[in-house]
């Protein structure tokens, strides 16, 4: 069943996020909360009944979330949506300017999320949650777990002496930090990765994270 939540009162709200919990859509909802933007939330179940419906396929041809409506503009892919929001609506200091010394590392970690962390995580989810037990492949799963562990090592090293990926909190944290949080939920962040463990706790302590990721309404 599709539920709807309206944020913001007595104003025409242009932004509408099509969302399901426990997936990449949480990144976008988290960012909206961090920036204090008003939005309408179309909360769907992470189930084919909602995501593969004709109504939602008209928004996204593969029936995926998130999808953002901004007036007559519609855009999907979480990273693209985050960049769009920052450029079109409100940066709030969450994206360093091109002449900022943090900008190269901001870009690096922003894109490291989908380039290196999410591919093995997707495989892990498929072979531990989505596929029925008889179709799961332990060899494929083990390889993905090793790849994810290796992908997390540079993050662990980078966080030494830092609260966030580039020092201050930025939108790169909404991308890669969310991926670290999900990796931890899958049991793929070892106890030895103390920097990532502490980083995840700092993210979880942020009010916007709680509203956007842990307890989306």
Residue 90 confidence (pLDDT): 83
Residue 217 confidence (pLDDT): 62
Residue 119 and residue 35 in one domain: no
Q: CA gyration radius for the chain?
A: 17
Residue 85 and residue 108 in one domain: no
Residue 108 and residue 205 in one domain: yes
Task: Provide block-wise average pLDDT over 10 residues at a time, the chain (217 residues).
Answer: 42 81 94 95 86 86 92 95 94 91 98 98 95 97 97 98 97 98 96 98 98 86
Residue 125 and residue 193 in one domain: yes
CA distance 24 to 2: 18
Is 49 among the domain residues? yes
CA nearest neighbour of 136 among 147, 128, 125, 148? 128
Is 215 among the domain residues? no
Task: For Cα atoms 26, 53, 73, give the angle at the middle one, nearest 5 degrees.
Answer: 60
Give this prediction's pTM.
Answer: 0.90
CATH of the domain at 109: 1.20.1050.10
Is 42 among the domain residues? yes
Which DSSP helix (H) or strand (E) runs through 6? strand 3-6
Q: What number of other Cβ atoms are within 10 A of residue 66's Cβ?
A: 23
Residue 88 and residue 108 in one domain: no
- Which residue segment(s) compose the domain that 78 sits in? 3-92
Residue 85 and residue 112 in one domain: no
Is 157 among the domain residues? yes
Report the number of distinct structural domains present in the chain: 2
Residue 100 confidence (pLDDT): 96
């Amino acid at each position: 069943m599709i539920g709807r939540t309206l944020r913001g009162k007595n104003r025409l709200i242009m932004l509408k996020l099509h969302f399901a919990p426990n997936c990449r859509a949480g990144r976008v909802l988290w960012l909206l909360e961090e920036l204090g933007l008003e939005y309408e939330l179309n909360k769907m179940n992470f189930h084919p009944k909602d995501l593969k419906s004709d109504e939602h396929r008209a928004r996204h041809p593969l029936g995926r979330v998130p999808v953002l409506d901004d007036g007559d503009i519609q855009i999907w892919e979480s990273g693209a949506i985050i960049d769009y929001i920052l450029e079109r609506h409100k940066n709030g200091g969450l994206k360093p300017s091109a002449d900022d010394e943090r900008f190269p590392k901001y870009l690096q970690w922003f894109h490291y999320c989908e380039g290196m962390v999410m591919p093995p995580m997707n495989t892990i989810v498929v072979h531990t949650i989505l596929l029925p037990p008889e179709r799961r492949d332990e060899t494929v799963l083990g390889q993905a777990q090793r790849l994810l562990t290796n992908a997390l090592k540079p993050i662990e090293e980078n966080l030494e002496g830092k609260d966030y990926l580039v020092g201050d909190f930025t939108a790169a944290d909404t991308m890669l930090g969310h991926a670290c949080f999900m990796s931890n939920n899958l049991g793929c962040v070892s106890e030895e990765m103390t920097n990532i463990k502490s980083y995840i706790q700092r993210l979880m302590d942020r009010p916007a994270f709680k509203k956007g990721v842990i307890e989306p309404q």
